[in-house]
Structure 1
């Protein structure tokens, strides 16, 4: 069951956005042990303001993660109207990798794994990715044995691969995304050794 969402006044909405941005910066710098007091100080609000918006630190983390997942879901849904399904899938993967390069929140996602709202938004994202893949496959832009879950698992790969270097160029991930996307194309494809996994 999702939490009810009540509309916020303009000032309250502004404070919430300030808190989310400050909290993300604080967590990136200090890890999940960052204190609510430090987050409030960075956002320029009172500590009580944090708790008026988020009852716990875990709820704050879930809001950060959920916000990023929701933004990617909006991108995927917009691209479902594209006239070129292959280009749409590549654009989504590019946006997703660029977002991960700028906001690598893997450590926060682990904390929010059990949050019902995050799970719901994540499932919506995966369904939207699946729809993009279905369209690209039907158009012959990608090989016929590629599934939505294959692409979900590949979303993080370009940035992760580039991150194995001690000081990679900021856009090095684009090289590996190009290699990955070429591997999704039907030209020269050989049979895959195992079936695609499904999400548990």
Structure 2
């Protein structure tokens, strides 16, 4: 949400626009119709442009929200599960996130426009929060790096649109992360 304080109706419009954008981008990808987003939010195009002067600003708000929720899952998993299980649970969330992304993440990682979010820093912090304890517990090889995890998850998400197949590929990948006897 923008830094300035908003009136209740403006905040509601902002939230409706982001919610509608999440749905439309999930269906159509990052080049989704801005008019369709405004229509689904129940506002006019002028309201959309007052809150988001560019497509990239709207996409950044959508992506920041999705990425923030994904990173929060890392923290929750770390608190609720043993280290190795927490990492696996979050990696499954990361693959699912990337599969429903429809190119939004790649676009935001390239532009870094709009919300000023450092996507890589957020992902690195979330993955590190889980990787280091998993390594210390002996659940993951010591030579595995955060970038390895993020790139493997992204590769799996790109390899197949089938969630069951992606889960199988992730399971096979996770077997390779276990320490060797």
TM-score interval (norm. to shorter):
0.7 to 0.9
Q: Deviations 1:85-130 (Å, cap 9, x if unpaired)? A: 10000010111222233x2232453156322745435412311212
Q: What is the TM-score of this pair, normalised by structure 2?
A: 0.83
Contact 1:73 1:125 in 2 (8 A): yes
Q: How many residues align?
A: 180
What is the alpha-carbon root mean square deviation over aligned residues? 2.6
Higher relative contact order (CA 8 A, sep 6+): 2
Aligned with residue 107 of structure 2, among 106, 110, 115: 110
Q: What is the distance in 1 between the residues matched to 2:133 and 2:174?
A: 15
The 1:31–1:146 alpha-carbon spacing in structure 2 relative to 1, beyond 3 Å, is closer
- Whichever structure has more helix as a proportion of its residues is 2
Q: What is the TM-score of this pair, normalised by structure 1?
A: 0.76
Q: What is the distance in 1 between the residues matched to 2:46 and 2:155?
A: 40
| Structure 1, unaligned runs of 5 or more | 189-200
Q: Could you say which structure has the larger radius of gyration?
A: 1
Structure 1 segments of 4+ aligned residues over 3 angstroms from their partners = 6-14, 24-35, 116-119
| Structure 2, unaligned runs of 5 or more | none
Q: What is the distance in 2 between the residues matched to 1:176 and 1:16?
A: 38
Q: What is the distance in 1 between the residues matched to 2:180 and 2:153?
A: 21
Aligned with residue 179 of structure 1, among 147, 160, 172: 172
